[in-house]
Structure formats: structure tokens, C-alpha cells
Structure 1
Amino acid sequence: MSENYGQRGLWRRDRVWSFLEPRAREVDVSRNVILYIEGVTVNFDGFKALNDLNLYINDGELRCLIGANGAGKTTLMDVITGKTQCNQGSVYFGQTINLLEHSEPEIARLGIGRKFQKPTVFEVHTVYENLELSLKTYKGVWYTLSAKLSMEEMDYIDEVLNIIGLEKHRYQVAGALSHGEKQWLEIGMLLAAEPRLLLIDEPVAGMTPQETERTAELLTSLAGDHTVVVVEHDMEFVRSIARTVTVLHQGSVLAEGSMEAIQNNPDVIEVYLGDQP
């Protein structure tokens, strides 16, 4: 044992005061469904942002949500993550976890990560530090000041850097990254928290064609180990990643299926796609 192991080992994130760690709840996906949204209605001063909406997301799938502005996409994300309370309906994470009984921080700890359209990284910190700050660990004040990364955590950060393609930028401050790289870093920050479900809002807005292609590869690679729900307006991007597409309209599900089926659905063509090629 090295001379300084006692101090280093004492303050390892996986060794300090484990009784303070929030106990992780297992997500029951025995029926292969990780998200159940049933009869959800959200009423804002008489306007139904969501209207008796039913949606089921399978464990490990990549699902695309599309719809015109005001269709209810953002409100749906807000309900899932606890930011907005619904007037009626139920939202379950797996078979047993009622998300409507949990706060935003609790829902994040349960394993649901959300990425907004505008990247929210810590620009004065390095890429590596951003990922370190996002690790799924207890973050009390004394603990944060004293803890050292374990070998397992360092290996995991390296793994995330490889997944998001920012290995060569690990010591670069996040503020110096390109727009696309910041988006990938934020996805990496979600991965560092070890989520089961990722909610990704308009990931390719403002990206170059090369960055868009790389983002498609990244999100596709995450499906399976994670469940990924992508909200996007760029139909070419949706075509490149779509397995199952859900179309929202006036707060409800208008249609659902493969991209080919959606493109040929008369109702979707009338209210959303129009004459898009």
C-alpha cells in the first residue's frame, strides 16, 4: 500500500460516507417499456398544451419526436423531468416509479437526463472538469472539497471522452470549443451521470453538416445501452437516425411509426410535413 493511500483512499468518492449516497432505485423494464405516459393533460389558462396524451417508449430505443411549434414537445419534456405538473394523467419510469411523485433533482438521480437546445456547459472549466463535475456521486460541500477521483471514475471519464470524440480536447476550456463540440460535451455530461433515459432537445441546431453527421453517429451509438428520445425540427437529420417517429399535434399523438410511414401519412402531410421532399 502506498504511503499516501490512507488519505487518498479515505476521500475516494466511492468510499466516503456511503450512507449519505441517495439509494438508486431499480427501473423495472420487465415488459420492455421504460416510459409510460398515459392520459396526460396540461392546461395553461385554458390552453391545453398536452391533451390526453398517450406515449410509450421502449427500453433501449431511439425515438424521434416531431411536430410544429406549439405541438407540445417541450411541455412533454417538462412533465417527464418534473419541471411542469400535469392536470391529469400518469407518468411512470418503468413499471413502478411514479415520476409525478418526484422533484426535478430526484428525477435526475433516478436516471433521466435532459439536454436543452442551447448547450449549458461550464465554459471556464476544462472539458475534463466538466465531466468530473457531472459524475453521479454525492456532492455535499465538504465531500466535494475533499474527494479525489477513483481509478474507476477516471477510466469512466476517459470512456465518455472517447464516446463523444473529445479525447484531444480534455484539457481545453469548454468556452473555446466549437458550437458542435459544446453540444457533444453536454451529451457527455449527461452520460457521466449514468442515465437510463436521455431527452435530447434539437441537438443539431446551428451545426455544420459535418457536425450534424457526427451527432447522428453519436446518438445512434448510444441507443441500446441507453434509451434516447430526440426532439428535432431538422427532417433530414431525423431521417438519418429515425427508427420510430412520433408526431405530436395540438398536445396529442397524431401518428407514430417508421419515417417512411410518417412521410406517407395523409394527416401528417396535411398538418406538418406539407410538401417537404
Structure 2
Amino acid sequence: MSALENLTAEGKELLRRDQVWPFLMPKQQAVDVSHQVILYVEGLNLSFDGFKALNDLNLYINDGELRCLIGANGAGKTTLMDVITGKTQCDSGTVYFGQNHNLLERSEPEIAELGIGRKFQKPTVFEAHTVFDNLELSLKTNKGVMPTLLARLTPTQLDRIDQVLEIIGLKEQRFMLAGALSHGQKQWLEIGMLLVSEPRLLLIDEPVAGMTAQETERTAELLTSLAGEHTVIVVEHDMEFVRSIARTVTVLHQGSVLAEGTMDQVQNNKDVIEVYLGEEA
């Protein structure tokens, strides 16, 4: 009798080629959104050599919403995202992911594991690899040495990659080198790389910078489609693009929230008009 025939049913199940071994998978951590809010930012302060980058900033993002952050250069948009993702430590304040995860006590990798993904303005894809390979590399798996060596794509993971390729509109380019994609397609691929890691919260920085009008329209459709299943925060300077996707807009100025509401409410806000147009209210 062969060794394989001697295996128990549990052993055979473990050795299936499409089986994901539990110890290879990262631990899932629940996020408490029982109050419908997924991100709490309260009393956030941060100074750089006397410059107040964040000034008693308060921000609340509902679970599943699409929120746009706007403001002039230096308003605190990027610094805020740096603090949320653990790249920069603040001087004081609190940042919670749901009600149960204090982000200020977490490292960047730990914050990513919780389900917070960030896309920077310039696309950072692996240009010498195919679109498919980029997505495979971004799957939410244990990235340790042994788990990586033993990793195998499962039907579920293959289905997830196909699903994301459909969402980002790159099914026909799946085996194309990422370096051969257009600028807009690289942006979509990077959003896809976030999506396969199954984030709850997406931070997207200036997604349409340098895009054609057609690519901008497609990006608006893409980001709008993600809201609900995901929470999406978009930082953008293109006001027409913001108008096309935003239900709620938050205006930052000198490290604080200056105004918040619909695009029409924000554009007609006397403080926003005075600050950005230099007009007397």
C-alpha cells in the first residue's frame, strides 16, 4: 500500500493542489462599524519645524461612502493620509479604524493588514511583469519566506483576479507587460492591485492627473462603482472630476476642515469663496 493510500481524508484534503493552508494566510481582523463610521480622526495635530501641517483636524468617514478631499497645496491632504497609513506620526490626536483599531499604535504593514490601502499619485506598478503578475503579487497572502515559497494560486484567487480585471477594464491586457500600458491603464492597474488585497478603505491620491478626457470619465465610473463594498477617499484637484463623483466633499485649509457638504454647498460656502477666490463674503 502506498503512502498516499495511507493518508487520512484530512491529509488528502490538506495536500490538494488548490488548497490554501490556513497557516499560510494572514489573520483576519474584524472592524467594528456598528455606528456606521469606519474612520474617526479627532483633534489631529502635527507640526514640522513650526509649520502647522495639521491643526486640530476632525474628520469622520462613513462605511461604504465615497468622500472627496480638496484643498490648496499645503492644506494637509497628503499629511493626513500619511498619518492614517502610519507613514508619519502625529503630535497629538486620535485616529481609529472602526471603533476598535487605534491606527496610531500600528505600523504601516499592520495598518495595511487591517484593510487600508493607499494609491499614490504616480502609478507604481511592476513594469517588467504582466498585468496578471502584478495582481497576483498583490493578493492578500502571508508574505513570509516559507509561505511565499509554498504559495499556490487557488481557484478562489484566480476568480478574484478575473473579477478585478473585469472591474478595472483590463481583461484583454491581462498578459501584457505593465510597462506597455497607457498612463490611465497603469492607474487602473494600481487600483486593481489594491482591490485584490481586499481592503475596506481605499485612499486614492489624484487618480486622474495626466489622463485623457476618456480615461478620466472611465476612472470616475470605476471609483463610483467601488463605493458601497469599499470606502473610498479621493484627493483631487480637478474640480470637474470631483463634481462627477462626489456626494460629500471635505475642504481642508491650513491643516483643518474649512467646509464640508455637497459640491454645490462647498462652492457656495462664504469661507471657501474668501479663501480660494480672495473675495469678501
TM-score, normalised to structure 1, is: 0.93
Say whether the 8 Å CA contact 1:72–1:249 is kept in structure 2.
yes
Q: Give the conservation status (yes or no) of the 8 Å contact 2:18–2:153.
A: yes
Pairing 1:6-17 to 2, within 5 Å after superposition: 10=15, 15-16=20-21
Distance 2:25 2:149 in 1: 16
Percent of aligned pairs with the same residue? 77
Structure 1 position 211 matched with structure 2 position 215: yes
Q: Deviations over 1:88-136 (max 9, x none)?
A: 0000000110000100000000000000000000000000000000000
The number of equivalent residue pairs is 270
Aligned letter for 1:10? L
Amino acid at match of 2:146: W
- Listed as ranges, the gaps of 5+ residues in structure 1 are 1-5
Can you list the C-alpha shifts for 1:212-257, whole angstroms capped at 9, x where unaligned? 0000000000000000000000001001001000000000000000
Q: Which structure's CA Rg is the greater one?
A: 2
Question: 1:11, 1:249 → 2: CA distance?
Answer: 56
Picking from 251, 255, 261, the partner of 1:257 is 261
* Deviation larger for 224-233 or 136-145: 136-145
Residue 251 (structure 2) pairs with residue 247 (structure 1): yes
- Report 1:65-84 matches (<5 A): 65-84=69-88
Pick one of 79, 90, 94 that aligns with 2:94: 90
Secondary structure of 1:49's partner? strand
Query: Which of residues 45, 51, 54 in structure 2 aligns to 1:50?
Result: 54
Q: CA deviation at 1:19?
A: 3.4
Q: CA deviation at 1:9?
A: 6.1
Contact 1:204 1:215 survives alignment (8 Å): yes
User: Aligned with 1:52: secondary structure?
Assistant: strand
Is the Cα–Cα contact under 8 Å of residues 90 and 100 in structure 1 kept in the other structure? yes
Residues of 1 paired with 2:105 and 2:139: CA distance? 25
Q: Using a 3 Å threshold, how does the CA distance of structure 1 residues 12 and 252 change in structure 2: closer, same or farther?
A: farther
How far apart in 2 are the matches of 1:170 and 1:233? 31
Q: Which residue of 1 aligns with 2:124?
A: 120
Confirm or deny: 8 A CA contact 1:12 1:147 kept in the other structure.
no
Q: Are the counterparts in 2 of residues 11 and 148 from structure 1 also a CA contact under 8 Å? A: no
TM-score relative to the length of structure 2? 0.92
The correspondence for 2:231, drawn from 227, 233, 236, is 227
Are residue 30 (structure 1) and residue 45 (structure 2) matched?
A: no
Consecutive unaligned residues in structure 2, runs of 5 or more: 1-10
Is the Cα–Cα contact under 8 Å of residues 18 and 155 in structure 2 kept in the other structure? Answer: no
Instruction: Give 2:15's aligned amino acid.
Output: L
Native 8 Å contact 2:64 2:229 kept in 1: yes
Counterpart residue number, 2:155: 151
Amino acid at match of 2:169: G
CA distance in 2, matches of 1:213, 1:206: 13
Aligned to 1:106: 110
The SS at the match of 2:28 is coil
Q: Which amino acid aligns with 1:104?
A: E
Alignment partner of 1:59 out of 63, 66, 69? 63
Counterpart check, 1:169 vs 2:169: no
- The SS at the match of 1:228 is strand
